[in-house]
Chains A and B, each alone.
Chain A
Amino acid sequence: MRTLGHTPTNAHAVTLARWLLGIVFLLAALGSIADPSAFAEKVAAYRLLPNQLINLFAIVLPWVELMVGLSLLNGLLSRSAALLAVALNAVFIGAALSAIARRLDIGCGCFTAAESTVGWGLIVRDLVFLAMAVVCYRYSEGDVEP
């Protein structure tokens, strides 16, 4: 049985997914880095973190996203970056589900432009990103034999 990573065509698809995911993470990071205060408010609105950790989280997370995005785009440590992307998307989905369960009317804090509120549309979008990250991790080009 053929598996995803065993043909050059699919290798290109994996590369494309890696680049798309990299761009998504870069865009998310840049918006948050530009306005850390607003991002901290978005984080606080989820009411998941203790007050003492919110700002620290808001300071560090966008830079983690930036590094993940850059690594996915340039291929350096791309499997590790993909693994982080999986973990981050899983956390984002969990946070969004938690907000929906608590009926919180909050912005998702995902991107500065085209900000959306937390809802099922956001969950679906994050699931797509999660699937892309899993594919990137499992079939990363960085593991291709020279």
Chain B
Amino acid sequence: MSSNSREGYRSAPGFGRAVAGAAFIVVQAAVIGLAANAVSPHRLSWIRVPLSETHRMASTHEVLAQPQISQVIVRPKARSSPLAPPSVESVIEAPAQRKLLPPVPERSAPRRAKPLSAPTPAAVHPTPQEIMPPAPKAAVAPAKVEALFTSLPDAKTLFDRKEAVFVDARHSEDYAVEHIPGAVSLFAEDFDAKYDSVFGAVPKDRPIVTYCSDPQCEMAVKLGDALVAHGHTKVFILLEGLPGWKGAGYPTSTGAAP
């Protein structure tokens, strides 16, 4: 082997030079990254919203007592039966809408309202629908279904009444150490893989309370959002988590998930 190949590597350029090159790469990346973010459809704001401000706080009692206000999608035309139970796909007529619309004769009910801007010559007596201005969209607009923060007392009430499914979003090992009695274990990172086995038989309109380790833990929020995305309409997030639950003197259990 030639001496040249044995000395094939020069002494490395100075550390300072490498640092300068690294700084150049970082600055270049920052400029490109911020520019790309500015034009990206998935643009991220520079300042992150605190976790406690990502969802609304709501009284579970009010939400469960008046589901049409914030939890159930309102679709007046789709109701199949007045006796149909409320659910995600069912319809609940908004009270405000009933006040706005006058009684409609039975024979005219199936007719569709014609646009006022295009009257036909044959129209002699307009129907009540044609006289009435269209109902404000706010009365029939679909309410946004979202996960909501809930307070410890409200969560405890749901717990006492056995109305809700409590979901522990922490790792199953932590669940085994301690959890809210009756809670199911679903580590938020495993949501997609385990959703069917855990929530396959849970009605979409059954209240669900998610929790994890503390108010900075995002797992409960992530799990709550994922449940809403899967069609669950009454999802509550107990942001205080298990420490808050214990601190309030509420009961806990131990043991692995069945």
Do A63 and B13 touch (CB < 8 A)? no
A54 CB contacts on chain B under 8 angstroms: 48
Do B42 and A35 touch (CB < 8 A)? yes
Shortest CB distance B79–A (Å): 36
Report Cα–Cα, A146/B82, bound state, in Å: 85
Interface-lining segment among A15-23, A89-97, A122-130, A135-143: A135-143
B4 CB contacts on chain A under 8 angstroms: 145
User: B18's contact among A6, A44, A137, by CB below 8 Å, is which?
Assistant: A137
Do A59 and B174 touch (CB < 8 A)? no
Report Cα–Cα, A83/B15, bound state, in Å: 9
Do A143 and B12 touch (CB < 8 A)? yes
B55 on the interface (CB 8 Å rule)?
no
Do B10 and A143 touch (CB < 8 A)? yes
How many residues of B sit at the interface, in one of the four size bands?
35 or more
User: A40's contact among B6, B9, B33, B44, by CB below 8 Å, is which?
Assistant: B44
Report Cα–Cα, A80/B218, bound state, in Å: 36
Contact A51-B37, Cβ < 8 Å, known A6-B8, A44-B218, A84-B25: no
Report Cα–Cα, A6/B2, bound state, in Å: 11
How many residues of chain A are within 8 Å of chain B by beta carbon?
Answer: 49
Report Cα–Cα, A140/B21, bound state, in Å: 14
Do B219 and A68 touch (CB < 8 A)? no
Q: Tell me the residues in window 121-168 of chain B with beta carbons closer than 8 Å to chain A beta carbons.
A: none
Do A59 and B21 touch (CB < 8 A)? no
Main secondary structure of the interface of A (DSSP, over half): helix
A36 CB contacts on chain B under 8 angstroms: 37, 40, 42, 44
Contact A68-B25, Cβ < 8 Å, known A8-B5, A59-B34, A143-B13: yes
Do B44 and A80 touch (CB < 8 A)? no
A12 on the interface (CB 8 Å rule)?
no
B36 on the interface (CB 8 Å rule)?
yes
**Interface core residue of A33, A59, A143, A145 (most chain B CB under 10 Å):** A59
Do B44 and A71 touch (CB < 8 A)? no
Do B48 and A83 touch (CB < 8 A)? no
Shortest CB distance B67–A (Å): 29
Shortest CB distance B184–A (Å): 16
Report Cα–Cα, A79/B48, bound state, in Å: 34
Q: Tell me the residues in window 25-82 of chain B with beta carbons closer than 8 Å to chain A beta carbons.
A: 25-26, 28-30, 32-34, 36-37, 40, 42, 44-48, 50-51
**Interface core residue of B29, B40, B47, B212 (most chain A CB under 10 Å):** B29
Q: Tell me the residues in window 99-144 of chain A with beta carbons closer than 8 Å to chain B beta carbons.
A: 103, 105-107, 115, 117, 137-140, 143-144
**Binary contact track A36-75/B, C-beta < 8 Å → 1, others 0:** 1100110011010001101110111011101110010000
Report Cα–Cα, A47/B212, bound state, in Å: 15
Report Cα–Cα, A60/B34, bound state, in Å: 7
Do A6 and B12 touch (CB < 8 A)? no
Of all chain A residues, the one with the shortest Cβ separation from B5 is A8
Of all chain B residues, the one with the shortest Cβ separation from A8 is B5
Do A107 and B189 touch (CB < 8 A)? yes
User: A55's contact among B12, B25, B46, B212, by CB below 8 Å, is which?
Assistant: B46
Contact A105-B32, Cβ < 8 Å, known A55-B46, A55-B48, A143-B9: no
Report Cα–Cα, A35/B33, bound state, in Å: 13
Of all chain B residues, the one with the shortest Cβ separation from A43 is B48
B6 CB contacts on chain A under 8 angstroms: 6
A81 on the interface (CB 8 Å rule)?
yes
Do A144 and B8 touch (CB < 8 A)? yes
User: B29's contact among A56, A60, A140, by CB below 8 Å, is which?
Assistant: A60
Shortest CB distance A89–B (Å): 14
Known A63-B36, A115-B189; further 11 A-B contacts with Cβ < 8 A = A6-B5, A33-B36, A40-B48, A44-B51, A44-B218, A64-B29, A81-B21, A103-B174, A143-B10, A144-B8, A145-B4
